[in-house]
């Protein structure tokens, strides 16, 4: 009898974990937040370049 292949009649519970993250959802969230960042940086550039020199 092989010690590495012991079959005692008990079924091993096989746990299968489903992948809950969808790569397309991650990509769309990344694009959304990148757009927010670009808008924020553009607003900061506008403030520093055009509004602050007037004070």
Tell me how many domains the chain contains. 1
Question: Considering the domain boundaries, does residue 1 fall inside one?
Answer: no
Instruction: Domain of residue 35: give its range.
Output: 23-54
Question: Considering the domain boundaries, does residue 4 fall inside one?
Answer: no
Question: Considering the domain boundaries, does residue 9 fall inside one?
Answer: no
Q: Is the pLDDT of residue 18 over 80?
A: no
pLDDT digits (tens, 9 = 90+) for 23-45: 999 999 999 999 999 999 999 99
Question: Which residue's structure tokens are 């991650």?
Answer: 26
Question: Considering the domain boundaries, does residue 12 fall inside one?
Answer: no
- pTM value is 0.55
Answer with the residue of higher pLDDT: 44 or 21.
44
Widest Cα–Cα separation across the chain = 89
Question: Considering the domain boundaries, does residue 15 fall inside one?
Answer: no
């Amino acid at each position: 009898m092989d010690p590495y292949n012991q079959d005692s009649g008990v079924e091993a519970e096989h746990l299968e974990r489903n992948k809950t993250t969808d790569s397309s959802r991650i990509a769309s969230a990344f694009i959304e937040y990148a757009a927010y960042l670009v808008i924020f940086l553009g607003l900061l550039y506008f403030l520093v370049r055009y509004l602050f020199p007037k004070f």
